[in-house]
Amino acid sequence: MDDIEKKIVDLVAEVLVDVNKENIKLDSKIVEDLGAESLDIYDMIALLEDEFGMEISDEDVEKIRSVQDVADFIKASQKKS
């Protein structure tokens, strides 16, 4: 995992009370595998926005399923800016 991916795993672990960090893989699906509910997702978005200094729209969130999707999205928007 690169630094961005590691940071994302940290943030996901911080939000999800019942999930241990060791169990979060890049291909873990955030809702199906890790059990995130809507409030967890909003909480994660706020932390990611703070950490990476960017905005994530609700439309973008719709497309994200896995931890890898989050990493890809953040790397893509960092290239754009």
Partner 1 sequence: MPRRVAITGMGLVTCLGTGVDQNWNELINGRSGIRTITAFNADRCVTRIAGEVGSDFDPWQYIRVKELRRLDRHQQIGLVAACQAVAQAGIETPPSDPYRFAVIVGSGIGGLHTIEAGHEILKEKGPKRMPPMVIPMAVVNLLPGLIAIRYGFKGPNFGVVNACASSATAIGEAYRLIAAGCADVAVTGGTEAVVGEFAIAAFNALRALSTRNDEPAKASRPFDKDRDGFVLAEGAGMLTLESFDHAESRGATIYGEITGYGATSDAYHVVMPDPDGAGAYEAMRLALEDGGIQPEQVEYINAHGTSTELNDKTETQAIKRLFGPSAYKLSISSTKSMTGHTLGAAGAIEAIFTTLALKHGVVPPTINLDTPDPECDLDYTPHKRAKRNMEYGISNSFAFGGQNVSLLFRRAQ
Q: What is the rounded CA–CA span in Å between residue 29 and residue 36?
A: 9
Tokens of 77: 């928007």
In the complex with partner 1, the residue whose CB is nearer, 16 or 71, is: 16
Q: Return the bridge partners of 66, or none.
A: 29
In the complex with partner 1, the residue whose CB is nearer, 45 or 67, is: 45
Decide: is 42 part of the binding site for partner 1 (CB under 8 A). Answer: yes
DSSP 31: T
**Which region, judged by CB under 8 A, interacts with partner 1, from 1-9, 25-33, 43-51, 61-69?**
43-51
Contact 1, 22 (CB under 8 A): no
Residues that bind partner 1 (CB under 8 A): 14-17, 39, 42-43, 45-46, 49-50, 55
